[in-house]
Structure 1
Amino acid sequence: MEPALYLIPVTLGETEYQKVLPEYNRKIILGIKNFIVENRRSAIRFLKLSDSSIDIDSLEFLELNEHSDLAKISNYLDPLLKRKLPMGIISEAGCPAVADPGATVVEIAQKKGLKVVPLSGPSSMIMAVMASGLNGQSFAFNGYLPVKPNERAAKIRQLENRAWNEKQTQLFIEAPYRNLKMLESILNSCRNETRVCVAAGLTTEQEFIRTLSVAEWKKTNEPPINKVPAIFLIYRG
């Protein structure tokens, strides 16, 4: 197996592995012994989901998250850099290095001239754009918005202006338990003509995707998005 840093996507929730991930990924996983993961426990669950015969005790895991020592991260790639061993990055959900701490390691790998191989898998951001009916030619992901209501409302209006003036779809996320508050903020902050898509629980049994104008959202029942991972998208009417 070629020595490289393999970016291994995972399921977005309680979804059958075969439904969203190709068999090729499983073959790559079986050839890797050194993993950089956001959370060791969830990474092990995913590896067992991909192949129940995997010997977890034979694997090495390095955690990369908000608690990691930044000074040590540059050494995470030593198995690949010094011993020419293939390595894999596993995120908590979806694709590594996209709105994910794995980006730090990928940056280091590129600077060191190491080969980086992104594997195919589900990306909630791309899938949300695909299903939204909004502009898929020009879009921007903005991560989390401010938590304080006034600051959040100001940021939403700023993104709405970009959506109208630049004809660019604006994407952002929120902690799942605050989804309904976020939708309320959007509806209170945006003009009635602005289109809003809520894409929640993608690829799972809880999947909900709907695009309406702000005026139309105000007339609908509360969507089933509480405590479900979601992407919010806004675009001009």
Structure 2
Amino acid sequence: MSLPGAATESGVLYIVATPIGNLGDISQRAADVLGGVDCIAAEDTRHSQRLLQALGIQKPLLALHEHNERERCGQVIDRLKSGESIALVSDAGTPLISDPGFVLVRAARAEGLRVTPVPGPSAIITALSAAGLPTHRFTFEGFLPTKRKARADALAALKKETRTLVFYEAPHRVRETMAEISAVMGGDREVVLARELTKTFETFYSGTASEVEVLLGTDDYAERGEYVVMVAGAQAETDEAAVVDADRLLEVLLAELPVKVSAKMASEVTGLSRNELYQRALALKSNSDR
């Protein structure tokens, strides 16, 4: 029995997330949609056929990958216009996230066709949820360049980024990438690597960049399975002159106003964090009362 809202509709392109390793992560809605559409556009039809067989679903498959997406896009759009419902799947996880599908989705929207996401697994979110790194702000950078200099340049451009950095990396390049992270961003930068997510040999490597580099070098299985590489963001640089000016401003304000009001006004003037200025105001007030 299908869940409410799981029935497919004509002329709709469904973006269906599929398991990244554990078949048990397929949602009931995703299975219902895959079983109800007229056709499934797949990154690798052989890979997707195995998933469909495991779910007991038989549907026509259409290959749509990075090498033929632009060529096949028109065909899929025409089929959608004729009233067919089509599901787009990648080899694993959520389509379009470093996978094919952008060209098709953009074209479908340009034609006024309905595009409906069917959410589910994503390696990025899965890895971040268990990494122990800050997740309130992060940036996904996809795959780093394969050439050494280009990779080093890309990392150098991100060296001062304060958000958590997230990359995908192939197993045969992960040791080189870790060496570059250590060299460019510093061996003391906190790093977490996730390998074989949701699978039997799921592994997390964590520590400083130097420590993780050593862990990879001593693990005989390090070059097996796809990686999510997560790097802690850089410490925000503090403008010492601004801090000094803020302290002087707080001292003047505190002579006439309460701590909370002084911090609020100083924040409006300097643009610095109100909470940070409140703590500084408390310290200044405490020192002046001694």
TM-score interval, normalised by the smaller of the two chains: 0.7 to 0.9
Q: Which runs of 5+ in 1 are unaligned?
A: none
Q: Which runs of 5+ in 2 are unaligned?
A: 1-7, 236-290
Which residue number in structure 1 is paired with residue 154 of structure 2?
155
Alpha-carbon separation, structure 1, partners of 2:126 and 2:86: 27
Alpha-carbon separation, structure 1, partners of 2:149 and 2:116: 42
1:94-139 per-position Cα deviation (integer Å, ceiling 9, x unaligned): 1112111112211112212222221132100111221222221221
Alpha-carbon separation, structure 2, partners of 1:71 and 1:147: 26
Which residue number in structure 1 is paired with residue 282 of structure 2?
none
**1:199 aligns to what SS in structure 2?**
strand
1:130-183 per-position Cα deviation (integer Å, ceiling 9, x unaligned): 122222122111122122223222222222222xxxx21111122222222222
Alpha-carbon separation, structure 1, partners of 2:66 and 2:213: 37
Which residue number in structure 2 is paired with residue 70 of structure 1?
70
Which one-letter code corresponds to 1:2 in the other structure?
Answer: E
Alpha-carbon separation, structure 1, partners of 2:113 and 2:138: 30
- Tell me: higher relative CO, structure 1 or 2? Use CA pairs within 8 A at least 6 residues apart: 1
Q: 1:217 to 1:232 in 2, by over 3 A?
A: same
Alpha-carbon separation, structure 2, partners of 1:33 and 1:129: 35
Which residue number in structure 2 is paired with residue 30 of structure 1?
35
Which residue number in structure 2 is paired with residue 113 of structure 1?
112
The answer on 1:226 being equivalent to 2:223 is yes
Identity within the alignment, %? 26
Which one-letter code corresponds to 1:230 in the other structure?
Answer: Y
- After the TM superposition, which residues 126-165 of structure 1 pair with which residues of structure 2 at under 5 Å, given as runs? 126-162=125-161
Which residue number in structure 2 is paired with residue 12 of structure 1?
20
Alpha-carbon separation, structure 1, partners of 2:94 and 2:112: 22
- After the TM superposition, which residues 27-106 of structure 1 pair with which residues of structure 2 at under 5 Å, given as runs? 27-51=32-56, 54-55=57-58, 59-68=59-68, 70-82=70-82, 84-106=83-105
Query: What is the CA distance between 1:205 and its match in structure 2?
Result: 1.0
TM-score when normalising by structure 2: 0.71
Query: What is the CA distance between 1:69 and its match in structure 2?
Result: 6.0
Equivalent pair of 2:141/2:167 in contact (CA under 8 Å): yes
Which one-letter code corresponds to 1:34 in the other structure?
Answer: C
Alpha-carbon separation, structure 2, partners of 1:8 and 1:49: 16
Please say which structure displays the higher CA radius of gyration: 2
Cα RMSD (Å): 2.1
TM-score when normalising by structure 1: 0.85
Q: 1:191 to 1:34 in 2, by over 3 A?
A: same
Deviant stretches of 4+, over 6 Å: none
Equivalent pair of 1:62/1:76 in contact (CA under 8 Å): no
Q: Report which of the two has the higher share of helix.
A: 2
Alpha-carbon separation, structure 2, partners of 1:28 and 1:69: 22
